[in-house]
Amino acid sequence: MLPWTLLGVLSLLITVPDALAVKSHDFKTCSQAGFCRRGRAISARAAEAKSAWKSPYSLDVPSIAITPNKAVFKAGVKSSLYPDIKFGLELRVHEDGVVRVRMDEVDGLRKRYDEAASWALISEPQISQEITWTAGKKDIRAKYGNNEVVVAFQPLKISLLRGGKEQVVLNGRGLLHMEHFRTKQVAETKTEEAAPEAEEGAEQVVMDVAKEVNPRAWFEGDTEDDWWDERFSTWTDTKPKGPESLSIDISFPNHGTIYGIPQHATRLALPTTAGDSPTFTEPYRLYNADVFEYLASSPMSLYGSIPVLHAHSADSTVGIFHAVGSETWIDVSHASDKSTQTHWISESGILDVFLMPGPTPADIFAQYARLTGTPVLPPHWSLGYHQCRWNYISSEDVRTVQKRFDEEDMPVDVFWLDIEYANEHKYFMWDEKNFPDPVEMTNDVAANGRKMVVIVDPHLKRTDSYPAFKEASDRKVLVKPASGDGEYEGWCWSGSSSWIDFFNPNSWDWWKSLFKTTALKSGWSWTLSTTDIHIWNDMNEPSVFNGPEISMPRDNVHHGGWEHRDIHNINGMLFSNLTSQAVRERTDPPTRPFVLTRSFFAGSQRFGAMWTGDNLGTWEHMAVGIQMVLANGIAGLSFAGSDVGGFFGNPEPEMLVRWYQVGIFNPFLRAHAHIDTKRREPFLQEEPYKGMIKDILRLRYTMLPVWYTAFRETSVTGVPVLRPHYVVFPKDPKGFAVDDQYFIGSSGILVKPITTKGATETTVYLAEDEVYYDYFSHHVYRGASKGKDITVHAELHEIPVFVRGGSIVPTRERPRRSSPLMKLDPFTLRVALGKTGSARGELYLDDGVSYSHEKGQFVWREFSAETAKKVVRLTTKNLGLERVGEAVDGVALASYNPGNEFAKTIGEVRVEKVVVLGLASKPTSVKVEGGNELVWEYTPGVAAGGKGEGVASVLTIKDPKVLIVKDWAIVIQL
Ligand code: NOJ
């Protein structure tokens, strides 16, 4: 008989999901997780006790020690509940004003996991040389600029203030609780006397009595609730270390909206989970999990976790990053419209919270980027269209799909292979029957400038005939079971499998060696690979089909003796980190890797792209995918997208068209589908849908200069590629909840993808008194200083895309089969004059594949238009030259090489068209400065609706023959 787990695997492969619903019973609710239940109970008791509630934690004042440079202090912390237990607190103020708060148990029975930050941070942050702590009678404080950090002694409370107003408060509600390590007592049954029923109005008295009689029970409850082992479904978690959870309240007294803590399928402005009539009754959960058929609106965990959030109001933004790798639940409530309370409950680990003072969203992005790194600048081709499905079944299949794209003149950059390419799901090893010629197949794809991406999952089939498993086993780098001995075994696609422990440094070089395309090893058919193959890391939560919550047992043991529970949320990031290093280092000099990961953590932005996993082919999933991608951007991981078309199901043509419209405005654009779905490649569609999708894909390629420029900006500043309204207009409260429209980088492109069936029009919110031009029709709309909704057409072939007045947008308009073939194509400049007659834009280019840009080999141009005395001057200059060594938002730019070889390769690339929108009148002459009259056409504007609305005037300048890499001026005389 087949084991049930295998049956489960097979049924996944063969069942078309008809009742699409998450299997909630596979995953815990807060009340099914002992530590979450205990944490929430503290908050319930605090709510009941009202003002009688006091945190038992206080600072041990005599122990305060300020370091010689004065920006760091350490002190002991005591809990009145456990006078014999010692805790240590440390606060550091970084050079940029970020405050790091660390608290750990000192000299405890065991050691709490304290390495989460070491995986997330890029380096040890620089401590301020100027900021000094001063201890007083009741508190110790450090003032810098307009900010001040205050640590109150009793009860312990940590606040970040700006302008004297509290912005972030830790333990203000007294929910801090670090469960110390203890020895298991042999059960003593003690029946507590039942407390007398409280009389009306006597609650306070009862509370006080209870507190005095048994303060521990009053604070943390009176049972050893799942302290020593815990059952869920058929699994028992042995919990050898006993209780070690951490609860902390973090409040934002002046911020009514919070964003972040991905990954959840929910609105961008996070709905409440606690307090009066919460939207969700469960807290947001961070526990990386393979959630089959996840819900489109839920605080449930998904595949990745980034414990970072922004708290926002019209006059301030502050941020929090909690470097914790264990399962964490976060309750969100509002004490008033203008303030937000959060309560973080983690299963294990130390308190390691970074308070990011802002005060603007852009400041927070820079502060967070200095901690965990800026997003990677991906290979340029990876911004093109990726065609995937589970599975292209043979090399002939791949060739046919490519041929059909070419026959239909549809652009595509990458073809993907899912797990069926691998012989018995032994990654690296080709299924030689169906893929007899992987090198030739890849070369055929590469002949058109294209790439392939092939999946490599983290589970290794347990058979000695599989070199990856055998070598990992011989090297002893596999995750161990709870006993700490031998190899943990679980089930995944490859049947009985084991998992590499990437926390073990001994696995690193070995893993990287597997990706060398030159190092031939006997018995390895992966050597039949080329450097045109890049990698997809899936199932790295890790997904274990027969494990608790479809993952690893928490008592599994990793390198250093840490339990899986301590590092669960970091685990997936290490896999994609090492894989991206492997792909980068397979050539000398290295080239930019592309690695897609499903699981992620804080810092994953340094390693590649993510996608939102197994979404359903529903309109709700299409819509929430946008919000999820925006939330990931907030947390640093901009290179994100959702499966176009929906992973499960067979989208009707209308839905598919809309999904492509959403997809081309995601940073990562990939169509993907479950093995049971019907083939749905764009060329298979009937007209008019086929033509629509072709136009949509071409639009993406036209806009690649915009995308690449935006990616390059985020790789320097950390400001996300997709910018929701509060990021662009932080002072406009009407935009705080807007999460279905957004800007692309600093380009001025505003998009509102349509995600509803049968739509023919939609409303778009314009936050400012500025003109916005419809990208296609040049219809001009005018916003208002207090914000305004406009109604726009949105028939199936139409996408609401606007250019914000004051922007210059560079595009490449020649249809090509793949993006590398566009390298020498000329540019079009769309000059969208703002209400004052000026405009500005940027273009960044480099070779798109190597790291030579880090040595100054790039082209970075600014275009500007100014109107004065009936003359519009359009000019361009070299930002590389101008801004060498300058810091953008505190992040130093790469050096610039004025004679750079890359610039020479595009030395002849010209501007072939300039379109100027919104000129006040017909020009009398249009010339390149110092040259002859150019060829141009002018269509006057048509006024409608008042205040400059209607159709914009359009001046089209044909082939001015100016070069992209040179300075020039075009003079338009009105
Ligand atoms: C799960 C992934 O989320 C999905 O995209 C993939 O197709 C399957 N695993 C098979 O590899």
Digit-coded pLDDT (tens) for 105-122: 999 999 999 999 999 999
Mutate which of 417, 457, 614 for ligand 1? The one with the most ligand atoms within 8 Å of its CB, which is: 614
Cis geometry, peptide bond prior to residue 155 (ω within 30 degrees of 0) = yes
Q: Which atom of ligand 1 is nearest to the CA of 455?
A: 11
Residue 796 binned pLDDT confidence (cut-offs 50, 70, 90) = very high
Contacts of 412 (CB under 8 A, 6+ apart): 384, 385, 386, 387, 402, 405, 450, 697, 817, 818
d(CA 277, CA 271): 11
pLDDT at 795 (0 to 100)? 98
Mean pLDDT (whole number) for 672-678:
98
Q: Which atom of ligand 1 is nearest to the CA of 391?
A: 7
**For residue 269, how far is its CA from the centre of ligand 1 (angstroms)?**
29
Is the pLDDT at 941 greater than 60? The verdict is yes
Catalytic residue list: 538, 541, 614
**For residue 9, how far is its CA from the centre of ligand 1 (angstroms)?**
12
pLDDT at 12 (0 to 100)? 42
**For residue 598, how far is its CA from the centre of ligand 1 (angstroms)?**
9
Is the pLDDT at 524 greater than 70? The verdict is no
Mean pLDDT check: name the lowest of 41-45, 454-458, 585-589: 585-589
Is the pLDDT at 668 greater than 60? The verdict is yes
Mean pLDDT (whole number) for 280-291:
98
Considering only CA atoms, which of 820, 970, 829, 817 is closest in space to residue 905? Answer: 820
Q: Are 246 and 178 spatial neighbours (Cβ–Cβ below 8 Å)?
A: yes
Mean pLDDT (whole number) for 60-67:
96
Strand runs labelled E in 574-671 = 595-597, 609-611, 640-641, 643-644, 670-671
Q: Which atom of ligand 1 is nearest to the CA of 419?
A: 11
Q: Coil, strand or helix: which one is 456?
A: coil
CATH pick for 381-702 out of 3.30.830.10, 2.60.40.420, 3.20.20.80, 3.90.1150.10: 3.20.20.80
In tens, the pLDDT along 760-777 reads 999 999 999 999 999 999
The residue contributing the CA closest to ligand 1 atom 4 is 614
Is the pLDDT at 65 greater than 80? The verdict is yes
Q: Which atom of ligand 1 is nearest to the CA of 303?
A: 3
The residue contributing the CA closest to ligand 1 atom 7 is 390
**For residue 625, how far is its CA from the centre of ligand 1 (angstroms)?**
17
Is the pLDDT at 43 greater than 60? The verdict is yes
pLDDT at 68 (0 to 100)? 87
Mean pLDDT check: name the lowest of 212-216, 231-235, 770-774, 970-974: 212-216
Considering only CA atoms, which of 666, 697, 678 is closest in space to residue 390? Answer: 678
Assigned fold of 41-181+239-372: Immunoglobulin-like (2.60.40)
pLDDT at 2 (0 to 100)? 35
Beta bridge partners of 495: 492
In tens, the pLDDT along 847-885 reads 999 999 998 999 999 999 999 999 999 999 999 888 766
d(CA 865, CA 968): 12
Residue 890 binned pLDDT confidence (cut-offs 50, 70, 90) = very low
Residue 947 binned pLDDT confidence (cut-offs 50, 70, 90) = confident
**For residue 458, how far is its CA from the centre of ligand 1 (angstroms)?**
13
pLDDT at 192 (0 to 100)? 47
d(CA 253, CA 169): 8
d(CA 612, CA 256): 27
**For residue 538, how far is its CA from the centre of ligand 1 (angstroms)?**
7
In tens, the pLDDT along 459-513 reads 999 999 999 999 999 999 999 999 999 999 999 999 999 999 999 999 999 999 9
Residue 206 binned pLDDT confidence (cut-offs 50, 70, 90) = low
Is the pLDDT at 671 greater than 60? The verdict is yes
Mutate which of 539, 599, 648, 675 for ligand 1? The one with the most ligand atoms within 8 Å of its CB, which is: 539
Considering only CA atoms, which of 633, 117, 588 is closest in space to residue 353? Answer: 117
Residue 75 binned pLDDT confidence (cut-offs 50, 70, 90) = very high
- Identity (one letter) of the amino acid at 30? C
CATH pick for 722-760+802-973 out of 2.60.40.1180, 2.60.40.10, 3.40.50.10470, 3.30.300.100: 2.60.40.1180
Q: Rounded mean pLDDT of the chain?
A: 93
Mean pLDDT (whole number) for 524-551:
90
**For residue 642, how far is its CA from the centre of ligand 1 (angstroms)?**
13
Q: Which atom of ligand 1 is nearest to the CA of 457?
A: 11
d(CA 156, CA 152): 5
| CA atoms within a 13 Å half-sphere pointing along the CA-CB vector of 518 | 4
pLDDT at 519 (0 to 100)? 47
Q: What φ, ψ does residue 877 adopt, rounded to 5°?
A: -145, 165
Mean pLDDT (whole number) for 62-66:
96
* Radius of gyration (C-alpha) of the chain in whole angstroms: 29
**For residue 541, how far is its CA from the centre of ligand 1 (angstroms)?**
13
Strand runs labelled E in 171-229 = 177-178
Length of the chain: 974
Q: Which atom of ligand 1 is nearest to the CA of 388?
A: 7
Mutate which of 13, 288, 418, 537 for ligand 1? The one with the most ligand atoms within 8 Å of its CB, which is: 418
- What is residue 420's DSSP assignment? G
Q: Which atom of ligand 1 is nearest to the CA of 614?
A: 3
pLDDT at 185 (0 to 100)? 83
pLDDT at 626 (0 to 100)? 98
Residue 383 binned pLDDT confidence (cut-offs 50, 70, 90) = very high
pLDDT at 290 (0 to 100)? 97
In tens, the pLDDT along 612-633 reads 999 999 999 999 999 999 999 9
Beta bridge partners of 237: 230
Mean pLDDT check: name the lowest of 41-55, 395-409, 631-645, 892-906: 892-906
In tens, the pLDDT along 311-366 reads 999 999 999 999 999 999 999 999 898 999 999 999 999 999 999 999 999 999 99
Mutate which of 294, 390, 537 for ligand 1? The one with the most ligand atoms within 8 Å of its CB, which is: 390
Tell me, yes or no, if the two domains 41-181+239-372 and 722-760+802-973 fold the same way: yes
pLDDT at 887 (0 to 100)? 54
List the chain domain ranges.
41-181+239-372, 381-702, 722-760+802-973
In this structure, the residues whose C-beta lies within 6 A of any atom of ligand 1 are: 390, 418-419, 455, 538, 598, 613-614, 647, 672
In tens, the pLDDT along 708-744 reads 999 999 999 999 999 999 999 999 999 999 999 999 9
Q: What are the structure tokens assigned to 895, written together? A: 């050096």
Share of the chain above pLDDT 90, in %: 88
Q: Are 639 and 376 spatial neighbours (Cβ–Cβ below 8 Å)?
A: yes
**For residue 21, how far is its CA from the centre of ligand 1 (angstroms)?**
17
Mutate which of 647, 675, 676 for ligand 1? The one with the most ligand atoms within 8 Å of its CB, which is: 647
